[in-house]
Structure 1
Amino acid sequence: MNVLLTRKYGSSLKLFQQIFKNLNKAKKVNSSFSTCCKHPRVNRLLIKVGVRHISTDMAPVFTVSPKGHLLVDDKLHIKLTGLPKEKKVTVYGFLEEEGKKFESNAWFETKSDGTVDLQIDPSTGGTYTGVSPMGIFWSMVACPGQLEGIRMMKKNMDTPFRTSVSVHDGHLNLGEVRVNSDGALGSTLIDRYYKAPGVRVEEVTDGRLRGKLYLPPGPGPHSGVIDLFGTVGGIVEFRSALLASRGIASFALPYFLYKDLPQALEDLDLDYFMEAIDWLLGRRDIIPGGVGVIGVSKGGDIALMMGTYSPKVKCAVNINGCPIAAMYDMKYKSRGETIKAVPFNMDGLKYEDDKVIMKGSLDIKTEDILPVWTSDVKTLHVLGEDDLCYPTVECIKCLQSLYPRDKAHNCEVLSYPRAGHLIEPPYTPLCSVSYHKTFNLHFLWGGHPEEHAKAQEESWSRILNLFRTELVCSSQHNARL
């Protein structure tokens, strides 16, 4: 039974199935589905629930591998069989998360055996072109009629991103698929999670520390990472859940606009983050000796500060952050110091259709750069060259130039042309613009979908490799990885 049809008509189709079974028992029809559809009683029921036509041809078969509990960074092999040979078809993806709707489409021509294989066959049109096994996921765009600047983000780690993937006759644009949504030749549902079975989550309320600790399956000890996001505030957990699913304990650490934490960025102090390092290393299920830190945007700034001032940070991943204190001083009360801010320059702001480009608002000088090279921390900088929020490429080039030759190996840079600011785990759609609740503005983040997707896929594998190499990651959960 067509998945889309079942989802739409639910209990009425169960009634239809029961009628079909009873008619068979009474010998009033044979066991043919198509014959049953023509029976007057069944036909009246179908019309009553709004089904005007059911194709009685053999439905195409979707094969998705690997099987089992899929994670969002799993590269899938999706193949369709049982289609008419040498015909134009459209593969359509649809996902709804907390009321936000996203979609994608790709055009193919079936081969002489009636198959389409997303792993080897090129899309000739739609939201992506060329060969991309995961294109139907990373090329998703927001469906029309919604608030501008919505972002696909998972907040409940116990539920999957559920994508309906369907195939349609002809090369259809997104609007045409929506109009003919009942006309799918076949469909399937694909569930992808950030959290693997056995991953444990602990709410952290210790002293002034707040957040959630994601622990891999098994007793450990596990390598430990502190996970930071930017000026959106609150707690963001999806990356920590995925890190734990890949064998690395991760502390999702909010630092403002969460519970009783500060309500404003100017109230931050570096001691809070240093306390988080000590707390994580004080656990018996965390490998002693040092932690990793990962941060994006403002979180990247803070990750570099932590690596600069704490010898307990062995490695730091900076995703489009700058080695500075951006906009606000960072107090370091325990040492009686303050890391002076690079002030916000309103004259450097640009606007495009009432959306903010912030990149030119920070006038950074060499003397503003954090002395990261004075530490032995291993840093990995993931940069989008089309970042419209931060002058990250220029900043990191300046930082590199300040490293003495004998420490240059500690500063590794991955720079991606046409990638934007929000570089996330693989196969997440590009978010090039979103509403920023902290500043009550729409921000332009930059990026181009295909190049941004490549940056996310490559950088994620490099990030995992860094943590496993530098933190002596527990091997017991890595067999699958």
Structure 2
Amino acid sequence: MQSHHLLSSAKRLNPLLFPMSTMATSTTTKDVQLLITPQSCLQDEPVKIQVQGLSPGQVVTLHTSTKDVRGAEFMAHAHYRANTQGEVDVTTMESEGGRYTGNFPMGLIAGMAPAPHVYKYTRFFKRDVENPNKIEASVFDGHLTDQDLYADTREDALASIVHERHYMAPGVQRIPVRYGRVRATLFLPPGDGPFPGVVDMFGTAGGLLEYRSAQLASRGFASLALAFFAFEDLPKTLEEFDIAYFEEAVDFLLKHEKVMKSGVGTIGVSKGGDLALSMATYIPKVKASVWINGCNANVQAAFRLHGSIIPGLQFDLADVEVRDDGVVNVADCMYHPDDFPETIIPIEKANAEFLFLVGLDDQNWRSEIYADMASERLKKAGKANYEVVQYEGCGHLLEPPFAPFSSVTYHAVVKNPIIWGGSLIPHVQAQESSWNKILNFLKNILRYPNVSKL
């Protein structure tokens, strides 16, 4: 898949609807201009990055940086050579060095990693979804290293610009939810609706993450970002879940005046993946389930049903591999579901459609194996209600497009950096492709023709 094909066919919202939160102007030296088009857009949209006014054949370094909510700086840089017209077009031209080489149109955005002065295993977190990511972009004369770019002796940029990437489209509402036991945030698209409802869940990091739900709402879904532990008065650790909690979340969505009543979807990554399967299996109003690099069994915490319990598939910490630099590999720690069949979720009983998204370089969970087991179970039951999509070079953190990507980051629960897997370019391309898959799958199954897509 070529990223520039996505760029040329992207359905963008009107950039004029995104006023810059501060007056962002391009500063130039002589006649050099750095252009990012559009200058303000949604986070999941590609952009075109160009430099004009250079000398023919001039070598330059393009540098981008942003800060997350904690103030940690992430950056990327790439080396280019101007064409005979004195121009650089990142969409069509190849980088000669830096963070990446070759043609990678969104490399300066999605390729950002912790800056040299930041702990190298820092993960980019977006918690303030009502505010855009501000990307500071500059072009410098010569081919500079990342250390050069942060040196006191660095010369001034030839040109600079600020680019904004929004998680919430104009008119999207963010509504904190405290409904019975449910702890969540509801994101609603602009307009009267009704909109298809989706319950959105993450993994063992816990807490409440909102960035995917904000982006789903920007594409036409009423998305409920659902916390299930380590948030407010919810359990602090993964202990035991009750199906009633998730039923209550579904009930909340379906009672909302702007949500379609025909059924909802679920989406979950990692531990959230098996929760998405369980909801589809045991809650009849769940009609579509997106599973991202998860397991086909109920993992770690027991899942209480009405009158029975699905035990949690456990981990064997003796199989943890710790490298000399302290990085942990946990890929082989989880017991095999076949050895504990009572933990396997009987998804063949579900009245729902399934989309399994698999990173073939997932080095956190053996998601390829688990997706194969799940699809085989459905096949043996005579079901055709599933699709498995695999992505070469893609790791565990298969998320919406263009947030800074890292294959190893610190995990607060493990208290060490852990390996997620994935290689920069194929992983970013997988995120672009899978996001379109998710939007189209949910739109088609939940029967809503007006959902915006890339």
TM-score by length of 2: 0.89
Mapped partners of 2:408, 2:28: distance in 1: 44
Mapped partners of 2:28, 2:212: distance in 1: 44
Deviations 1:322-361 (A, max 9, x none): 01111221122xx111112222112222112322211111
1:95 partnered with 2:66 = yes
Deviation of 1:57 (Å): 5.2
The DSSP-based 3-state class of the residue aligned with 1:219 is coil
Structure 2: which 5+ runs fail to align? 1-26
Partner of 1:174: 146
Mapped partners of 1:135, 1:144: distance in 2: 18
Mapped partners of 2:291, 2:103: distance in 1: 30
Distance change (3 Å), C-alpha of 1:195 and 1:178: same
Deviation of 1:373 (Å): 2.0
The DSSP-based 3-state class of the residue aligned with 2:65 is strand
Mapped partners of 1:454, 1:228: distance in 2: 22
1:72 partnered with 2:47 = no
1:216 partnered with 2:189 = yes
Mapped partners of 1:433, 1:79: distance in 2: 31
Mapped partners of 1:56, 1:447: distance in 2: 37
> What is the identity, as a one-letter code, of the residue corresponding to 1:265?
L
* 1:441 pairs with one of 405, 416, 419: 416
- Matched residue count: 422
Give 1:351-362 correspondences, 5 Å limit: 351-352=322-323, 353-362=325-334
1:252 partnered with 2:234 = no
Deviation of 1:182 (Å): 4.0
Mapped partners of 2:418, 2:63: distance in 1: 29
Give 1:78-477 correspondences, 5 Å limit: 78-97=49-68, 98-179=70-151, 180-332=153-305, 335-352=306-323, 353-366=325-338, 367=341, 368-404=343-379, 407-473=382-448, 475=450
Higher relative contact order (CA closer than 8 Å, sequence separation 6+): 2
Deviations 1:91-123 (A, max 9, x none): 111112231011111111101111101111111
Kept in 2: contact 1:384–1:423 (CA 8 A) = yes
> What is the identity, as a one-letter code, of the residue corresponding to 2:181?
R
Deviations 1:220-278 (A, max 9, x none): 11111000011111100000101101111100100111111111211322221121111
Distance change (3 Å), C-alpha of 1:406 and 1:394: closer
| Percent pairwise identity | 37
Partner of 1:63: 35
**Deviates further, 142-151 or 94-103:** 142-151
Kept in 2: contact 1:102–1:140 (CA 8 A) = yes
Give the number of the structure whose alpha-carbon radius of gyration is greater. Answer: 1
The DSSP-based 3-state class of the residue aligned with 2:150 is helix
Mapped partners of 1:363, 1:434: distance in 2: 23
Distance change (3 Å), C-alpha of 1:75 and 1:407: farther
Deviation of 1:470 (Å): 0.9
Report which of the two has the higher share of helix: 1
Deviation of 1:133 (Å): 1.6
Kept in 2: contact 1:429–1:453 (CA 8 A) = no
The DSSP-based 3-state class of the residue aligned with 2:75 is strand
> What is the identity, as a one-letter code, of the residue corresponding to 2:368?
V
Deviation of 1:442 (Å): 2.4
Deviation of 1:402 (Å): 1.7
> What is the identity, as a one-letter code, of the residue corresponding to 2:37?
S
Partner of 1:26: none
Distance change (3 Å), C-alpha of 1:56 and 1:146: closer
Kept in 1: contact 2:28–2:160 (CA 8 A) = no
The DSSP-based 3-state class of the residue aligned with 1:456 is helix
The DSSP-based 3-state class of the residue aligned with 1:325 is coil
> What is the identity, as a one-letter code, of the residue corresponding to 1:208?
R
Mapped partners of 2:302, 2:224: distance in 1: 24
Structural RMSD (CA): 1.8
Deviation of 1:181 (Å): 4.3
> What is the identity, as a one-letter code, of the residue corresponding to 2:58?
K
> What is the identity, as a one-letter code, of the residue corresponding to 1:92?
H
Structure 1: which 5+ runs fail to align? 1-54
TM-score by length of 1: 0.84
Distance change (3 Å), C-alpha of 1:57 and 1:257: closer
Mapped partners of 2:137, 2:217: distance in 1: 28
Kept in 1: contact 2:116–2:147 (CA 8 A) = no
The DSSP-based 3-state class of the residue aligned with 2:417 is strand
Deviation of 1:447 (Å): 1.4
The DSSP-based 3-state class of the residue aligned with 1:90 is strand
**Deviates further, 340-349 or 199-208:** 340-349
The DSSP-based 3-state class of the residue aligned with 2:442 is helix
The DSSP-based 3-state class of the residue aligned with 1:409 is coil
Distance change (3 Å), C-alpha of 1:406 and 1:305: closer
> What is the identity, as a one-letter code, of the residue corresponding to 2:335?
D
